[in-house]
Amino acid sequence: MAVNVDVLKALVGDATVTDADEKYGLNWHGKRRARQLALTPSTGTLRPCPEDSVDWETTQNLMIEGDNLEVLKLLQKSYAGKVKLIYIDPPYNTGKDFVYPDNFQDNIKNYLELTGQIEGGQKISSNTEASGRFHTDWLNMIYPRLKLARSLLRDDGVIFVSIDDSEAANLKLVLSDVFGEENFVDSIAVEMSTTSGPKTVNAQQGTIVKNVEFIHIYRKGVDFDKTSRTPLLDGIDSYDTHYSAWLSENGEIGSLSDAMLADPYVKAEIEQYGFIERGGFSIKNLSKLMMLSEAVKDFIEINAKSIARIDRPPVSANGQSTEVGKWIEFEADHRTYYLTTLENGSLQALMPLSLNYRMSDDYKPRFGRTVIRGDLWKGFHQDMGNVAKEGEIPYANGKKPVRLIKQLIKWASSSDDDLIVDFFAGSGTTAHAVMQLNSEDSRHRRSLLVQLPELLDKGDIEQKNAAELCDQLGRPPFITELTKERLRRAGDKVSADDPDRKGDVGFRVFKLDTSNIRAWNPKPEDLEATLLDHQDHLLEGRSEADLLYELLLKLGLDLCVPIEKRKIEGLDVHAVGGGVLLACLAEKITREQVEPLAQGIIAWHKELAPAGDTTCVFRDSAFADDVAKSNMAAILQQHGIATVRSL
């Protein structure tokens, strides 16, 4: 058993331990280093993969393969302060889930080694309780990622983090450390299972079985409270049989059963499905009938104002009186109630179904009372039964229901241009939810996913089917291949279900890699050779597109910014963001090409007429000599393109 020396000193009265050491907060071994890790710049870049993407030219959605710590660093310039909502479902630290060590010196190399892209290095492993620093290792993993995530959020942004009771308490303290305790919004308990099946045996033996997981919610700041949020509604699936009165236009109170039988079409449906009893229809059978008959559902919906239940009258109705068996309108609480007097002389309110008949949080109509949901979210155990098949991807490991994520997004995001981020993306549930929700409420939210290309284990029963699917697709057995395939299938289904709406169901794929620009790595024993090696300091085998997108990241431009391409003097010139950036990244520009290329760029720049200053970039090694490079810069600067750079 380890001995805490500082505690021991305090117990024996050692004066060297002061009150300054007794401060409130969560501390652990490595916290300072984890904080520094978040501030250490990345040495990587994101390489475009149009061949893995869908609708590359038009989509505004992103799917990035890579270590999320490094990707979050690379996204800072382009996306800081632009994200409305972050949802993450990190490893729960159960002792089985994937946790790997971050390398303080070179995390890109560490990432490539861990994912088998280069030889050597540490191997992927689980974080077991036998490690000696079970909670510490997990905290060191999550802390720098949350620090970087906070800076991505808009001032009115919000983060949702799923967790179970393994690290729920520690996670809340870490979130309070990063976001501020005053920015805690709530912790939701989500019913993910019921006490049934094998759990029943444990419960009968006196064990308190797990039924819920948690979602901690933190805002970026007080601006979040100024934005509108959509109330989430719970309702009963069955018909509330208290709504049995029928309000006739002449003010009389009748029976809903009689009104239904008076409608020939509805009566025929009642008879067809065998719900006539003693010549009448019982309201207790209405739920069953509505499951079978669309005509009956339509009848209830159309006549919701005429269907009512008897309830207590509002306090403001005291002193009112009506004729027995008749109703009168009464305005209270900005609602129209109906008052009636019963045969015993008591005043009652007739509550129309239309006051409560509305859409629930998962867009199903409810035929009874609907309540605004609190911090206990029931019923998601039903979704968990089918979660393994959602998105047509056989992968259940840690997968969350689409309906759950949709409701979180619906609650906090209502604007067309909201950016939704998930940097523990798994199989891509968050992007799937964004696609579905956009289709349902006609918004244009964007999604940005980050997922590590973790290797699927065919020997693991939970991953076997997923790995076999990758084999069938002719793809390597990585989780990221499942993510991309799920997004393709989900997009196809959303488009098929709503063919008239041309929503964005595409995504651009990028992969984390070392920078296209060689790091300066001098050899003290042979500086001359080092200098010669760095004459061309761009890595071999990297394309113009690779260089262009690294430029976007370094200049803080969106990875989905519009890019036009034009041939000038036989060379590709790219205009980014309407001409804010002009780039010619050809490997060779001859002396003879310098002036006509410059004039072509100037003409296109005038045609584009960008709103801001323009930066023009070339490959440094492309020019024949420094004179050619200087001439290019001078010509461009004379015509208003003041910033000319070379890579």
pLDDT digits (tens, 9 = 90+) for 510-524: 999 999 987 655 555
Range in 64-73, 265-274, 361-370, 540-549 with the lowest mean pLDDT: 361-370
Residue 310, beta-bridge partner list = 350
Residue 46, beta-bridge partner list = 512
What pLDDT digit, counting tens, does each position of 594-628 carry? Answer: 999 999 999 999 999 998 899 999 999 899 899 99
Question: What Cα–Cα distance (Å) separates residue 199 from each residue in 183, 210, 461?
Answer: 37, 9, 21
With contact defined as beta carbons under 8 Å apart, do 615 and 555 qualify? yes
Instruction: Taking residues 38-60, report their average pLDDT.
Output: 95
Give residue 531's pLDDT. 46
Chain mean position to CA 130:
33
Backbone angles phi, psi at 48, to 5 degrees: -70, 145
Give residue 533's pLDDT. 52
- pLDDT for residue 113 is more than 80: no
- pLDDT for residue 208 is more than 50: yes
- pLDDT for residue 103 is more than 90: no
Position 530 confidence tier, pLDDT thresholds 50, 70, 90:
very low
Instruction: Taking residues 251-275, report their average pLDDT.
Output: 94
Q: What is the Cα gyration radius of the chain?
A: 32
**178 Cβ contact list (under 8 Å, min separation 6):** 143, 146, 147, 150
Position 135 confidence tier, pLDDT thresholds 50, 70, 90:
confident
Six-digit token string for 222: 């007080």
CA distance 255 to 262: 11
- pLDDT for residue 130 is more than 70: no
Give residue 379's pLDDT. 83
Instruction: Taking residues 252-274, report their average pLDDT.
Output: 94
With contact defined as beta carbons under 8 Å apart, do 354 and 368 qualify? no
In the chain the first and final C-alpha atoms are separated, in Å, by 56
What strand order describes the sheet that includes 508-514?
44-48, 508-514, 62-65, 446-451, 419-422, 83-88, 153-163, 212-219, 184-191, 376-377
Domains of the chain in start order, with CATH, are 5-42+67-230+379-454 (3.40.50.150), 235-372 (no CATH), 555-646 (no CATH)
Q: How many residues does the chain have?
A: 647
- Pairing of the two strands 153-163 and 83-88: parallel
- Pairing of the two strands 62-65 and 508-514: parallel
At position 132, the amino acid (one-letter code) is G
CA distance 27 to 64: 32
What pLDDT digit, counting tens, does each position of 436-445 carry? Answer: 999 999 999 9
Instruction: Taking residues 472-490, report their average pLDDT.
Output: 95
DSSP 8-state symbol, 538: B
What pLDDT digit, counting tens, does each position of 20-42 carry? Answer: 556 677 899 989 999 999 999 99
**123 Cβ contact list (under 8 Å, min separation 6):** 114
Q: Identify which of 105, 97, 106, 107 has the alpha carbon closest to the alpha carbon of residue 134.
A: 97
CA distance 403 to 392: 15
Instruction: Taking residues 314-325, report their average pLDDT.
Output: 85
Instruction: Taking residues 312-335, report their average pLDDT.
Output: 84
Six-digit token string for 526: 């042979």
Q: What is the dihedral of CA 21, 24, 30, 35, to 10 degrees?
A: -120
CA distance 230 to 594: 58
With contact defined as beta carbons under 8 Å apart, do 390 and 429 qualify? yes
CA distance 205 to 208: 9
CA distance 549 to 544: 9
Write the secondary structure of 134-185 as one string of H (helix), E (strand) and C (coil): HHHHHHHHHHHHHHHHHHHEEEEEEEEEEECCCCHHHHHHHHHHHHCHHHEE
DSSP 8-state symbol, 397: T
Instruction: Taking residues 455-472, report their average pLDDT.
Output: 88
**422 Cβ contact list (under 8 Å, min separation 6):** 86, 87, 88, 89, 429, 430, 431, 447, 448, 449, 450
Give residue 149's pLDDT. 98
Position of tokens 């964005």? Answer: 504
Average pLDDT of the chain, as a whole number: 87
Range in 104-113, 312-321, 408-417, 607-616 with the lowest mean pLDDT: 104-113
Six-digit token string for 120: 């050597």
Range in 119-128, 217-226, 475-484 with the lowest mean pLDDT: 119-128
CA distance 522 to 540: 19
Work out the percent of the chain whose per-residue pLDDT is above 90: 59
- pLDDT for residue 128 is more than 60: no
Chain mean position to CA 593:
48
Give residue 15's pLDDT. 59
Give residue 561's pLDDT. 95
Give residue 353's pLDDT. 86
Give residue 634's pLDDT. 96
What pLDDT digit, counting tens, does each position of 137-196 carry? Answer: 899 999 999 999 999 999 999 999 999 998 999 999 999 999 999 999 999 999 998 888
DSSP 8-state symbol, 52: G
Position 230 confidence tier, pLDDT thresholds 50, 70, 90:
confident
Give residue 121's pLDDT. 47
Q: Between 322 and 88, where is the model more confident? A: 88
Give residue 529's pLDDT. 52
Position 16 confidence tier, pLDDT thresholds 50, 70, 90:
low
Work out the percent of the chain whose per-residue pLDDT is above 70: 87
With contact defined as beta carbons under 8 Å apart, do 35 and 147 qualify? yes
**200 Cβ contact list (under 8 Å, min separation 6):** none
